[in-house]
Amino acid sequence: MATTLPLQQQRLFDKLARDFDAREYAKGLRTADSILSVVPNHADTLALKGLTLHHMGRKEEGREIIESALGFNDTSTVVWHSLGMCHRADDNHVEALHAFQKAHEYGPSNVNVLRDISSICVQLREWEQFVDVRRKMVTLRPGVRANWIALSCGHRMLGNKELAAAVIDVMTTIMEAGDNRAEKSEVRLYQVELELACNAPARALDLLKKHSQEIIDEYEKASLRAKTHALLGQKVEAEKWYMELITRGMAEADCVAAIAQLRKIPLDAARRPKRDVDKYLELLKQVQEVNPKSNYAKRQVLECVPIEQFRDQLREYAGMFIVKTIPSLFSVLKSLYQCPDRTQHIGEVFHQWEEELMAGDFSSFGGKKDPTFILWVWMYLASHYCRIREFGRALEYIGRAIDHTPTFDLLYLMKAKIQAKNNQLDEAAKTADMARRLDLQDKYLNGKAAKYFFRANKIREGEALMQMFYKTTEVPDDTYLTALESQCAWYEREVGDAYYRMGDYISALSNYLMCESHHQRNHNELSEFHNYVFRRCTMRAWFNVIACDDNLEENKFFQKLCPRIVRTYMKIHEEGEEAVRAKYAPRPEVGKYSDVEEGKRIANLRRTFYLHNVDISDPLKKAGRYLQASLLHNALSSEVHLLAVEFYTMCRMPFLVARELLILAKLKCPSTNELVTQFENNLFREMASSMDPRVESIIKETLTTALEKLN
């Protein structure tokens, strides 16, 4: 039953609510105690006191007080709302939604409760309920722009694109599109995107023309103009807008690909022409005419120019990098090594330059005499031989470069890379550390040196280097916790690899599985973000955030980890749980704390970020999930399918092994023939007697097809 407060206590209660909103929890606690000294059973005050304690870190005490408040008044909107906020703070979104729904039941016009329900609905992807709640908010407060935008976004998430567009149209007729230029621009662009999603390019084009002055994002405006003209079949106009973007140096790769599509020039995944190479080269020529500085067009020419013209084009393109001493040349030419003929020509061109420069001929570089030109040529030759796995010659050339300029840090990094690829891991770590010592203020060099120490299984040395550049953290000297807090993906992967090589598979898994832990933590932190999006009209980017949040398996860092996780679980299955646990060496705790509260705080942080008690039971079942994720997103990778063959062989699944062998044959994997023979002589022969004849027949047919594909 509700208790009415006297006037003075009611004023204090209003102050308590303001103190909580301002996060002045100590003041709020004193105010709550003042009220409760007069009215000890006031449920709403008890609820706010409990919520305040919960936010002060006294969670259990706060929860108990809120639950006691329910005993005094179980129909209070404030009490149920407070309980929901506690659950939300603990990332218990299902219970939070239940509590918020009860609060809404007893306070149907409370906008704060409705707003919190909508936020939780987004977290749980309850889009129908989200739309229902936002429709109520529009009814209660039709003058609030955020309510209309959120309702439109909800309809779009449900696939009701026409309704989403209609909601925004109504909103813009009864109020301004935004409070400032940026908000107005975003709303107009969102309208255009909705019309395109509704397959209404004519309406989208009308909106772009009508609101051109309001849209301040010039790239998006031009890009959408090009798309709308293309969808309307107005190819000349579409090309004109794409060329306009290229002239400005914006998204050249996307624009060239779009124009190629308009001209019906098919491109592969790397955006190289599958046919009509002459047409594509003509397009690249036009791009260079409208934007002579277009580095993308010059680089793409090297991918498809006839091999007899390749050398001249390479000399022109790479010569600029050497004259301007741009180190990225080493990575820019990487994709050309997929073609053996182009690879050979690359080596010949750089050797020719080496001979010219050693003879004092600088004509290939504009006649300007510069002693650094030979340095960069040697550097690239070292990189070239490293890439074609002639490590002896690579080390010879990088040695010449170091003798030429022994104070250039990038030379040592390249030498470390060559040594690492040649399996000289200890030497690589020492060489990378020499590069670091040449510039102690360079964080990049520091990180590279740490990485090479990890690859040499020297985890403590690598972490000591990383600590030099980490800001003072909540836990001094605990590099591991600091890296976990900062979600340093490469660190977790490299340290996990080191533990795997050392045979500590539990420690390896605790690092590999951190990616999912980070993803879940990021997901939980988004609960406070959604309402901000609708207020600030940044909903276009919000859809991308939601898509990334829903698609962990597409995350490139997660994809790098999947094969590692599978191999680790396979090792655990192979060696047995008991043997694996015997090899596990837990990390020693860093630091001793005389202050009991400080010790508790540190322990709580480690509980939050560390992965304790990694479950290694039924390892093959757990590995299967990561293998499927890897196969789904790397269907053309021979390495992934080779891993699948190994995994399904271990699981004794001959049918799936045969399927993977057929895929490898289609991918022209060199080891397929040998793998087929091994499969026939081992697993297939062992299981043939107990196999269903129909399954046996299908497997034999699959293997025959695989062998035919290889011939």
pLDDT at 486 (0 to 100)? 80
φ, ψ of residue 267 in degrees (nearest 5): -115, 150
Name the H helices within 503-555: 505-512, 514-525, 530-536, 539-550
pLDDT along the chain (711 residues), means of 10: 79 90 90 89 91 90 91 91 93 94 94 95 96 96 95 96 96 93 96 95 96 94 96 95 93 94 91 91 94 92 92 93 90 92 95 94 88 94 96 97 95 97 96 96 94 96 86 64 82 95 94 91 88 93 94 92 97 94 82 66 73 88 95 93 96 95 93 93 90 91 90 76
Give me 89's structure tokens. Answer: 């703070």
Measured between alpha carbons, how far is 677 from 693 in angstroms, rounded to an integer?
Answer: 20
Q: Please report the DSSP string for 299-343 in residue order.
A: HHHHHHS-HHHHHHHHHHHHHHHHHTT-TTHHHHTGGGGGSHHHH
pLDDT at 147 (0 to 100)? 96
Give me 163's structure tokens. Answer: 């309704």
pLDDT at 102 (0 to 100)? 94
pTM of the model: 0.89
- Going by C-alpha positions, the residue among 386, 392, 389 that lies closest to residue 417 is 386
Measured between alpha carbons, how far is 316 from 640 in angstroms, rounded to an integer?
Answer: 38
273 three-state secondary structure: strand
Q: Please report the DSSP string for 206-241 in residue order.
A: HHHHHTTTT---HHHHHHHHHHHHHHTT-HHHHHHH
Residues recorded for the chain: 711
- Going by C-alpha positions, the residue among 342, 343, 302, 344 that lies closest to residue 321 is 302
Residue 382 CB partners (closer than 8 Å, separation 6+): 394, 395, 397, 398, 401, 414, 415, 418
CB 357 within 8 A of CB 377: yes
pLDDT at 567 (0 to 100)? 97
In this structure, what DSSP letter does residue 469 have?
T
Measured between alpha carbons, how far is 427 from 423 in angstroms, rounded to an integer?
Answer: 9
Measured between alpha carbons, how far is 423 from 429 in angstroms, rounded to an integer?
Answer: 11
CB under 8 A, 24+ apart: contacts of 552-559? 552/515, 552/516, 552/519, 553/629, 553/632, 553/633, 554/633, 555/515, 555/519, 557/489, 557/493, 557/515, 558/515, 558/516, 558/519, 558/629, 559/629, 559/630, 559/633, 559/634
Longest dimension (CA), the chain: 99
Quickly tell me which residue has 């209404």 as its tokens: 200
- Going by C-alpha positions, the residue among 678, 686, 681, 680 that lies closest to residue 700 is 680
| Domains along the sequence of the chain with CATH | 7-108 (1.25.40.10)
267 three-state secondary structure: strand
pLDDT at 590 (0 to 100)? 61
Measured between alpha carbons, how far is 540 from 577 in angstroms, rounded to an integer?
Answer: 48
Residue 273 CB partners (closer than 8 Å, separation 6+): 260, 265, 266, 267, 279, 280, 304
